[in-house]
Amino acid sequence: MSARLPLVTTAGRRHRLGRRHRLAPSAHAATVVEAADAVVALHATDAATVFLSVRARLRAGGPEAVEQALYEDVSLVRLLSMRNTLFAVSAALAPYVDAASARGIAARERRSLLKHLAEDGQGLDADWLAKVEAAALDALDSLGPTTGSRLSAAVPELRRKITIGRGRAYEAETGVATRVIRLLAADGRIRRDRPRGSWTSSQFHWVHTDPWPAVAAAEARAELARRWLLAYGPGTEADLKWWTGWTLADVRKALAAVGPDEVRLDDGATALVAPGDTGDEPAPEPWGALLPALDPSAMGWSDRAFHLDPAHRPALFDRAGNIGPTVWWNGEIVGGWAQRADGEIVWRMLADRGRDAGEAVAAESGRLGRWLGPARVTPRFRTPLERELSA
């Protein structure tokens, strides 16, 4: 039966990646938002990843173009969402990401904090939490963009300490400020603004903002699944479940609402694409890229065998499954890179793809070094090859 399905080869999947993820030069995006939407969402756990992921996909523009989108136009926003991870998404997509993932995370965060408050024994409850949240928002209105420490100084109750796991082996005293700020952000009532220091910093200022417009959760999950299929298809239920962090039931409902088509892969397995998206993808021109740690093109599937040789995983991943900086050639991960303390970009090929590949990667490393200028980037999650190269 599967033999009758349209075939999408490994080469075809790599062609899709080069074009749809805006990595081939002819497919580069004209704007920061186009670059973000091409991969649905940009990993933002590490502040530098957002900037470097956009750089690899943008026709022209330096870090200031990304800063403009994040902090002036607010056309790109950070949300705690898929897999309980911080992502940057376009403002147009944000209400769907909020409804599909962030709402559930916010509800769990609130339940968890209220449980810890109750167990602490100081009589702190939902009413107390609501008053502290309101006071924090009032303070932000008065202060403007504010760091967490300055906000805590303005709201005395944020400096309160509670004990988590009292009487247990893991008992620990912690401040409530970080938990309350995280909850307000998850609820969409505050957002991360320009950080202290350079664009590589994660010490953000916070600003009061309006929650995202309400979207039905089922509609939002269907829209997110549709966009994922267009950007990452062919993919499987397992891939989408991993990428979103949803339950299998929610994944299946979202896919049923989209109505994807089935295709056959080189190994005879079947996978899903967006409705009608079964045709061959024209090959782009040869391209090389240096992508940052946690870049979406490396993190979009649970099964990455079509673009990553399993033998290279030990060098490129940390023990928690986070991928480090990668070198790409024509839709395949062929090595890794790092930046040394003096700013030099160094890289190593783990697979020999010929002279053209080496020259293209060398040229790209030069462009990356010029783009970074005086900035220094060290991934938050360090991998064996990145550590070795940067030493």
Amino acid at 27: A
* Amino acid at site 351: A
CA distances 310 to 313, 347, 350, 384, Å, are 5, 19, 12, 15
The burial of 256, by beta-carbon neighbours within 10 Å (0-12 exposed, 13-18 middle, 19 or more buried), is given as exposed
DSSP 211: P
Instruction: Give 27-82 pLDDT, tens digit per residue.
Output: 999 999 999 999 999 999 999 999 999 999 999 999 999 999 999 999 999 999 99
pLDDT in tens, 154-199: 999 999 999 888 778 888 889 999 999 999 999 999 999 999 999 9
Region 321-337: mean pLDDT is 97
The whole-model pTM stands at 0.95
Q: What is the mean pLDDT of the chain?
A: 96
What residue ranges do the domains of the chain occupy?
A: 94-208, 308-390
Residue 13: count of CB within 10 angstroms of its CB: 23
CB of 318 closer than 8 Å to CB of 357? no
* Strand, helix or coil for residue 165: coil
